[in-house]
């Protein structure tokens, strides 16, 4: 039994003539144009044409609210500036106290080291006394003669 293949029928052509704009049904015949107007404003006070549409008391209330908001914002900015100044003052005081304490403790350590080296030299331990003296005085001399404003540059080969 052999099966026959069905021949495909050519597709019917639709009327593609652009000049024939006849509607096929009622739904296609109605056309409409829609426009959308969008107005946007930023800020606490609406534009004058919108503000004029309100009652006079409400417009005054809106303006008063905007003024109060502006005063509040200025007060917040003023407080922020005061807080920044206080923070900087506190930070500078902390740096000053830390530096002063560091210098006091460095002096105490240097004094103890030099006193110890003199004691060792007095007891006859010349090598230990001299080594302690040099080890104690060398860092102090380095800090004394170094320039803190001089920037160290990395030398690249």
Q: Looking at residue 60, what DSSP letter applies?
A: H
Helix ranges restricted to H, 123-156: 126-145
Average pLDDT estimate for 51-70: 84
What is d(CA 86, CA 28) in angstroms, rounded to the nearest whole number? 74
Alpha helices (runs of H) in 14-55, residue ranges in sequence order: 26-29, 48-51
Q: Using one digit for the tens of pLDDT, what is the confidence trace for 91-124?
A: 999 999 999 998 899 889 889 999 999 999 998 8
Q: What is the pLDDT of residues 20-43, one digit of tens each?
A: 555 555 555 566 788 887 777 777
For residue range 135-156, what is the model confidence (pLDDT) as tens digits?
888 888 888 787 777 766 655 5
- Separation of alpha carbons 49 and 58, rounded Å: 14
Domain boundaries, the chain: 49-145
E strand intervals along the chain? none
At residue 153, the pLDDT reads: 63
How high does pLDDT run on average in the chain?
80
Confidence of residue 3 (pLDDT cuts 50, 70, 90): low
- Enter the pTM of the model: 0.45
């Amino acid at each position: 039994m052999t099966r026959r293949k069905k021949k495909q029928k050519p597709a019917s052509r639709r009327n593609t003539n652009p000049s024939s704009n006849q509607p096929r049904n009622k739904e296609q015949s109605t056309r409409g144009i829609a426009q959308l107007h969008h107005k946007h404003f930023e800020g606490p006070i609406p534009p004058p044409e919108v503000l004029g549409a309100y009652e006079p008391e409400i417009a005054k209330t809106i303006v008063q609210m905007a003024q109060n908001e502006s005063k509040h914002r200025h007060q917040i900015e003023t407080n922020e500036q005061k807080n920044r100044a206080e923070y900087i003052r506190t930070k500078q005081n902390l740096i000053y106290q830390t530096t002063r304490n560091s210098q006091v403790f460095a002096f105490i350590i240097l004094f103890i080291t030099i006193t110890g080296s003199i004691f060792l030299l007095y007891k006859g331990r010349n090598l230990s006394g001299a080594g302690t003296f040099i080890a104690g005085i060398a860092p102090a001399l380095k800090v004394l003669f170094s320039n803190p404003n001089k920037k160290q540059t990395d030398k690249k080969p």
